[in-house]
Amino acid sequence: MSSEEVLKNASTLASYNVLLQVMFRVLTFLLNAFTLRFVSKELIGVVNVRLSLLYSTLVFLSREAFRKACLSGGSGTNHSWRQVINLLWLTLPLGVLWAILLVSVWLWLLEVPDPHTVPYYGPAVFLFALSGVQELLAEPLWVLAQAHMFLRLKVVAESLAMIAKCSITVVLVVSVREWGLYIFSVAHLVYTGLLVLCYAVYFIRFLGSKEAINKSFPLHRAADLLPCRPLVDRTLARLTWSFFKQSFLKQILTEGERYVMTFLNVLSFGDQGVYDIVNNLGSMVARFIFLPIEESFYIFFAKVLERGRDVRSQKQEEVAIAADVLECLLKLVLVIGLIITVFGYAFSHLALDIYGGSLLSSGAGPTLLRCYSCYVLLLAVNGVTECFVFAAMSQQEVDKYNLVMLALSMSFLLLSYLLTWWAGGVGFILANCLNMGLRILHSLFYIHNYFHSCQWKPLRGLLPSPLLLLALAVSAIITAVSESVFCCDGGWLLRLVHIGIGAVCLLGVLVAVLFTETRLIHFVRTQLFRKRLGQHSFKAMSQILG
């Protein structure tokens, strides 16, 4: 597959993933707003913090390293894909081991919630762990689909599963509220079960079909999806082990505040519920825009660049296109992050008041959301820089970076604990900001050294135009003044005035982007909002980007 085709498929995958994440975030957003009216914030805290942490820890530590290693390129022959399948099936016994360990910790080492406020905690722990193990059954199929760019499969499978989960949750919350945690456990089991079913049905129908033969798909029948000889590739297994050590550390950084809340009891279950709702609201854009871009373009960089080789020893045309794409991606996420930071500060109070009423807007919620809007900017930049770095690093560099991640993880946990005692929930966000800033600095240093000996300078994407910075600064001042004058105790008419002023300011910022970031606009139009790039040659694509 040529670099142009990889770029086209990665761009299309990013577009599909963005749409998928938008739907997920909207459904979750509406579901949380609905359940807030029917269940206690303590119940929401246990589900969204403790049980979700159990599930995410189990799944992430069981599969993330395998995904990164197996999507790092070149498993094109029938023989090598059989070895990849064998390696991926190891996620299942690994998941069972993690489930046993984590269930034991969640049941016997952690504080058990009050059974009258949060009923059926024990069974819920088992069911959430079971749902994680169940999802791992689809892991070989997921990697096959991603590697061969089956773009619509993920969208259809996860859409159906999410719709089913939300529907079951709503029905059970309304009809059998006394079920407590059983409601969310059953809904999550249905979600992961439907995911596995969709992938299984698709590949059973696809393998051996005319479409598979025409695409020269490396597997030919359903039995090829099961583990068999030859055994795993040792090089791939060693790379997986390197990523596994890194995944453990990355999980601590990603979910660090939940670990601190869960194991150190720095916040009550009710406060955990409020923090998690604000956290989910603040991270909506990060999850449905930045995360899909990171996932999709990691595949692009991993396929275009040869891991562990410097710029001069690689194909220069492919390095050029990778550098141009990286520069445009950095500019894209920077602009989006700056807009979120500026407007998130002035509209946090109003957003929480509309979403959850006084339960969220009367306490520390607005301050949490304002801080989180600043953190989103760091999330945006870090996602793209690490996406490139992890695709370009050699195995030895990955091992060295694990030591950096270890130091960051330890400092993050310590900072989270200290800052939370000092500033409550805001302390979690401040600790995240400090650690994310250090991760960005490390990635920028790596990228600078990677391209130091060549003509391409992708880090220029982090330099917005002066006119755009001016428009953002003026908008920040105007919307802050508007919030203090019109929001949020004067009725809906004044709130609409505040919204109108924000809309005018946003329009001004977008006009500044349109006139000063023409290369970025062209990249977005041709790469992220079009399903096909047409028949442009690779050289023509390079000219378009640079």
Tokens for 503, please give them: 């809309």
**Residue 131: what are its φ and ψ, rounded to 5°?**
-65, -35
CA distance 267 to 260: 9
Tokens representing 491? 């009725």
What DSSP character marks residue 454? S
Q: Record the tokens describing residue 326, joined without a space.
A: 């990286």
> How far is the C-alpha of 156 from the C-alpha of 180, rounded, in Å?
30
DSSP string, 109-127: TSPPPPTTTS--HHHHHHH
End-to-end CA distance of the chain: 22
Tokens 């290693």 label which residue? Answer: 69
- Give the torsion through C-alpha atoms of 134, 233, 85, 24, to 10 deg: 60
Structure confidence at residue 21 (pLDDT):
62
Dihedral of CA 177/37/19/330: which sign? negative
**Per-residue pLDDT tens digits for 372-413:** 888 989 988 998 998 888 888 887 888 788 788 778 878 888
Helices of type H across 283-315: 284-285, 291-304
| Among 18-32, 297-311, 527-541, the least confident range | 527-541
Q: What is the mean pLDDT of the chain?
A: 82
Domain boundaries, the chain: 38-254
Q: What is the pLDDT of residue 237?
A: 84
Q: Is the pLDDT of residue 546 over 50?
A: no
- Convert the pLDDT of each residue in 36-81 to its tens digit: 778 877 888 899 889 999 999 999 999 988 888 887 654 444 447 8
Distance CA 395, CA 451 (A): 19
What's phi and psi for 268, nearest 5 deg?
Answer: -70, 165
Q: CA 373, 377, 379: angle at the middle one, nearest 5?
A: 105
Q: What is the DSSP letter of 50?
A: I
- For residue 68, give the nearest of 226, 242, 185 by alpha carbon: 242
pLDDT given for residue 6 in this prediction:
61
The residue ranking higher by pLDDT, 181 or 524, is 181
Listing DSSP states for 336-371 in one string gives: HHHHHHHHHHHHHHHHHHHHHTHHHHSSSHHHHHHH
Q: Is 349 exposed, middle or buried (0-12, 13-18, 19+ CB in 10 A)?
A: buried
In whole angstroms, what is the distance from residue 209 CA to residue 227 CA? 22
Crossing angle for the helix pair 52-70 and 256-264, nearest 10 degrees? 140
Question: What are the phi and psi torsion angles at 195 (to 5°)?
Answer: -60, -50
Output DSSP code: residue 222. Answer: G
Euclidean distance between CA atoms 183 and 499, whole angstroms? 37
> What is the C-alpha to C-alpha distance for residues 348 and 56, in angstroms, rounded to an integer?
28
